Amino acid sequence: MLQQVNGHSPDSDAQSGKSHREDLREFLGREAPLHQLDDLTKVNPVTLETVLRCLQARYMADTFYTNAGCTLVALNPFKPVPHLYLPELMREYHAAPQPQKLKPHVFSVGEQTYRNVKSLIEPVNQSIVVSGESGAGKTWTSRCLMKFYAVVAASPTSWESHKIAERIEQRILHSNPVMEAFGNACTLRNNNSSRFGKFIQLQLNRAQQMTGAAVQTYLLEKTRVAYQASNERNFHIFYQICKGASEDERLQWHLPKGAAFSWLPNPERTLEEDCFEVTREAMIHLGINAPTQNNIFKVLAGLLHLGNIQFADSEDEAQPCQLMDNAKCSVRTSALLLQLPEDMLLETLRIRTIRAGRQQQVFRKPCSRTECDTRRDCVAKLVYARLFDWLVSVINSRICADPGSWTTFIGLLDVYGFESFPDNSLEQLCINYANEKLQQHFVAHYLRAQQEEYTVEGLEWSFVNYQDNQACLDLIEGSPISICALINEECRLNRPSSAAQLQTRIESALAGNPCLGDNKLSPEPSFIVVHYAGPVRYHTAGLVEKNKDPVPPELTILLQQSQDPLLAVLFPVNPKEKTQEEPSGQSRAPVLTVVSKFKASLEQLLQVLHSTTPHYIRCIKPNSQGQAQTFLQDEVLSQLEACGLVETIHISAAGFPIRVSHQNFVERYELLRRLRPRTFSGPGRCSERSPNGKEATLQPLLQDILHTLPALTQAAATPGDSDEATPAPVHCGRTKVFMTDSVLEVLECGRAQVLEQCARCIQGSWRRYQHLKQQRQRRAAVLIQAAIRSWLARKHIARLHTAATTIKRAWQKWRIRMAFLASKELDGIEEEHFSQAPRSSSSSPQPPIQTRLLGAIIRLWPLGLVLANAATGIQGFQRKLVVWACLQLPRDSPRGYTVQIAQQDQAGVTSIRALPQGSIKFHYRKSPLRYADMCPEPSPYSVTGFNQILLERHRLIHV
């Protein structure tokens, strides 16, 4: 029974088909927002049709990446999209706090794997499995991932390490063009189809910097060198040297323009991959110099000329086959380019050496035309396979780091996609067998492991039915009887193989397997295998011979006689080395077949994948014609069914993709207990179990944290949205907490809220502390300033007091002296004045000048005394009044005055000894300046102290 997904149960289709169709029609009618669904788990309901329509809407909107739970679905755009792979976009995904929040992209998968290595205390190796049919874009995806890691994982700290990282980055990136030129070809489904599998190991040091890489290859389709299907091409490198060679190189390699080669079909077709200069430049970066490159291309040209050697049937079986017309020139040119003896080359291709008997007698037998063609093709396949392996070893020697310099790796697996052609042989059987193994790895890792984990953890889970391909694998590789076992047995028997007999054995021995299809109507001997991606018909003709992959020893001896430096490296002369074609004595040990070698390498690869944390990218081909903006629903639908994508979406949407151990969950979300309400009725529940030890101590903490979910969900819900306010599902297993993405988002929001509150609390306390500290500092500064000012004021006042005391003493002395002198002078003048008789002013004559001077002195001395004691603020009009009052000058005319003497009835100064009748005081206004009175400075014109002038009032007597 399928788990209910987003409120819809797929099993309810039979019971409520009408409502389901209405929901589906309503969903399919809303095509406008489909391109905005960046995750297929959000599609409701999850069916093949709805997923198909969502992918189509996104593809037509030029959105080529979509998440499907743990898998990234990549649609091949079949057109250049440079803005999707810019270095700036790589850095954006690398610097994003949460790359999963960005749009789905191959860079998000790359960043996730890189952070998994970087964030763990004990890093776990990561792997990315890029799968899909041929032409779906697996090679391009792997190339983009390599560029991404070359950018983000090469961050040196010094100039020297920067140069090292840059050199490694360039070597890794330049290994792609070389391997694609020698290992890719144009097929019916893809212009750049990988005809080999490769696992690229990107090596990282403890600082997560890329220090090197290693490449491991699987099952090169070397038969393509000598045989190409209709409308297909040979490997890219042959077309590159024929189209990109210079005139001198054409003369040197004997490749004239317009030359026809039987192993070079469709030469007029020009592809983007036919760029010779890119391959040569990449080889230079990998350390393959120009002479070595010239040697490689010369050998490849020799193989092309070798393919033009055609044989004719011999009339006499005892005589070797004759050459066809123009074949002699091809033999001569091929021998010249491969630096082989021409006679020895021709003899080896036409005459077979047989060893028989106990004494290993040697017999020479002429070969038939078919055998000659087979031996010719065997030479080409053997040379090209050895050359390809040598190139891989050179690349590894240039890019691989020392074992002690790296600790972890990120693996990129790019294998040939599932293939089904009209004529399928051993190559397609091995390719589809590898895809079956990878599909089983995906099923075991995600689909099956996820459901089994729910059961172990005690969760209430309704299992999702998924397609298990174990039966197909048992058919292909099972023990003791399987297709591979029967083919290897035919090779071990070393007898002439019959296609019909092999078909009969397979059908009779494996008749009970449900994955073996019915093949009664086939006109040719063949068998059908029902793969996870669909049924494929395999022809049994030539299957055993291809599995043997025989290499006659005389062909190896021939190539060891070559004077070419490269062939001397590829075929060293080592008598101690025994090949599989030269068994020792009567030993009947089975030779190592192609299937056996491929199965062993595939098992080794799967062991590496099982030891890593895998990530999956499913490449989908929108159409088989390679046309942009063309989405063929039938073709895409078959691919969705084949890769098990719908089952993946079902489990991802219905299950709990987020799982955290109890300890880690408590450590991260324990602070949410601050938000725990007093009452609780939430969804989180723990499975029934009897915890002990550490788990028992974690249970109260887990319950307290889960109790906060209702309040957090209510706070996160928008007003009027009842669906958002309902608690999201979360389950507490025996050792882990299972939750959905929505629950994780709610918990993270609550955690951010608590952290924000704590931050505000800390900031408030810090600000209060800083405010109090500033206040204390201001108060201390004020006290210090007041103390300094008080000390300065006291010091100044003391100085002023000392000066005032000195002035006071001096003034007192001066006043006594002046009083004495004044008394003495006034007493003398008074006596002289009163001794003279008074006269009338009108009748008496003018007094002499001495008398007038004496009278003026007598009158003016109070003026000097007054002016000397007057305050400095008395100026202007007030000062004049004082002068006029003392002089008693008439105001009418300045000259009309008379000198009066003091009489008995007049006011005047008669004696300073007179009793005081009043006092004269001078006042001044306080200055408006603030500090004028605080620190007064002595002035030479100011008079300190008080003077009182005591005068007796008498009436003035006019003289």
Please tell me the distance from the alpha carbon of residue 562 to that of residue 342, in angstroms, as a whole number. 11
> Across-strand partners of 685?
731
> Across-strand partners of 204?
210, 408
Is 136 part of any known ligand binding site?
yes
Asked if residues 911 and 826 have their Cβ atoms less than 8 Å apart, the reply is yes
CA distances from 91 to 66, 86, 107, 114, 433 (A): 20, 9, 9, 13, 38
Q: What is the DSSP letter of 298?
A: H
Is 137 part of any known ligand binding site?
yes
What are 43's two structure tokens?
A: 């599609």
Nearest to 643 by CA among 620, 665, 622, 625: 620
Is 585 part of any known ligand binding site?
no
Is 138 part of any known ligand binding site?
yes
Please tell me the distance from the alpha carbon of residue 342 to that of residue 331, in angstroms, as a whole number. 7
Please tell me the distance from the alpha carbon of residue 154 to that of residue 164, in angstroms, as a whole number. 9
Is 713 part of any known ligand binding site?
no
Give Cα 437 to chain centroid, integer Å. Answer: 32
CA distances from 585 to 356, 358, 359, 578 (A): 11, 8, 9, 12
Is 292 part of any known ligand binding site?
no
The helices-and-strands tally (H runs, E runs) of the chain is 31, 22
Is 756 part of any known ligand binding site?
no
Asked if residues 65 and 106 have their Cβ atoms less than 8 Å apart, the reply is yes
Is 795 part of any known ligand binding site?
no
Written in H, E and C, the secondary structure of 891-926 is CCCCCCCCCEEEEEEECCCCCCCCCCCCCCCCCCCC
Please tell me the distance from the alpha carbon of residue 25 to that of residue 49, in angstroms, as a whole number. 11
DSSP letter for each residue of 378-406: HHHHHHHHHHHHHHHHHHHHHHPPPGGG-
Please tell me the distance from the alpha carbon of residue 477 to that of residue 456, in angstroms, as a whole number. 31
DSSP letter for each residue of 231-284: T---BHHHHHHHHH--HHHHHHHT--TT---TT---TT---TT--HHHHHHHHH
> Across-strand partners of 310?
none
Asked if residues 20 and 45 have their Cβ atoms less than 8 Å apart, the reply is yes
Residues annotated in the binding site, as ranges? Answer: 132-139
Residues annotated in the binding site for ATP, as ranges? Answer: 132-139
